[in-house]
Amino acid sequence: MVNITRVYTGGGDKGESSLVDGSRRSKADPRFEVVGLCDEFNSLLGTVLMEIDRLPNHDDGGQRTSVRRIQQVVGEALGRTQHEVFDLGAELACPPETLPEFMVLINEDQANVLVDEMDALLEWLEPLNSFILPTGEPPVAMMHVARTMVRRLERSVVRLREHEGESSVRPIVLIYINRLSDWLFVMARWVSHVLQNEETKWVPLGKRTAERGIGQRVRQMRSNDDDLSSI
C-alpha cells in the first residue's frame, strides 16, 4: 500500500531518481523517459475526460442524448484506461527481472478488450476513403493529441529496448501501446459521429486549388475598420 506523507524528498536534486527496485539512475535515462511519457499521457487522458464532461448536454430541444451517451461510454473507457496506463508506468519503472513479485502486470486481456471495443465502435462508422485531419470539437481534438503522444511513448519504449536489450520490456507492453493509439483514433471518430460532426478529410497538395493565403482578407478587414472609424 502506498503511503505518501509528503511529495518533496530532495533525493532527486542532483538529477537522479530511484526505480521501483531502488536502484538509482539519471533522470535522463531512457527508462525514466518512458515512465514520464506514461505520466504525460495519463494527464492528457484526464484533460480529454474534462472536455467530455464539458460538452453541453442540453439544447433548445431538451437533453442531448448523444452527449449523455458519449459521457457514459467514453467516461467509463477512459477511466479504465487511466488505471491501465498507471499500471504500465509502474512496470516500466523497473527492469522485468527486478519487478516486485506481487505486482500484477498488463497482459493480453487488456489488449484484447481494446480490440473488442474498436470492433464495436467501428460498427457505427463508415470506412475511411481518405486520411482525416486531427481536428474537431475539443474532446475529439484532444483525443488526436493523445493518440500522437501514445506513438511517442511507443517510440521511446522501442528505444529503451534497443538500449537495454529485448528482454528489458515485455512484448505485450508494445502490443498494448500499439493497440492504444489505434483505439483512441477510433474513439475520436466515434465521438464525432455521435455528435453528428463532419470529419475533415485531408486533400493532397496536388488536388488543392492555388493557395492565396489570408493576407488580402486581413487587409480588407483593416480597410473596412478604417472606413467605419472615419464615419
CATH number at residue 97: 1.20.1200.10
Give me the percent of the chain exceeding a pLDDT of 70.
87
| Residue 215 forms part of a structural domain | no
| Residue 221 forms part of a structural domain | no
Is residue 73's pLDDT more than 90? yes
Out of 17-21, 41-45, 198-202, least confident range = 17-21
Percent of residues in the chain assigned helix, strand, coil, to nearest 5: 60, 5, 35
| Residue 139 forms part of a structural domain | yes
Which long-range contacts does 96-104 make (Cβ < 8 Å, 24+ apart)? Answer: 96/167, 96/168, 96/169, 96/170, 97/167, 98/19, 98/20, 98/21, 98/23, 99/20, 99/21, 100/20
| Residue 123 forms part of a structural domain | yes
Reported as a single tens digit per residue, the pLDDT across 180-222 is 999 999 999 999 999 999 999 999 999 988 888 899 999 999 9
Contact 95, 21 (CB under 8 A): yes
| Residue 212 forms part of a structural domain | no
Contact 94, 19 (CB under 8 A): yes
| Residue 9 forms part of a structural domain | no
Is residue 101's pLDDT more than 70? yes
Is residue 139's pLDDT more than 70? yes
Task: Tell me how many domains the chain contains.
Answer: 1
Is residue 46's pLDDT more than 70? yes
pLDDT at 212: 85
Spatial separation of the C-alpha atoms in residues 193 and 190, rounded to whole Å: 5
Give the domain extent around 114. 16-203
Q: Copy the grid coordinates of residue 178.
A: 500499439
pLDDT at 57: 80
Region 13-18 average pLDDT? 63
| Residue 76 forms part of a structural domain | yes
| Residue 223 forms part of a structural domain | no
Is residue 156's pLDDT more than 70? yes
Q: What is the pTM of this model?
A: 0.86
Contact 71, 53 (CB under 8 A): yes
Identity of residue 197: N
pLDDT at 105: 95
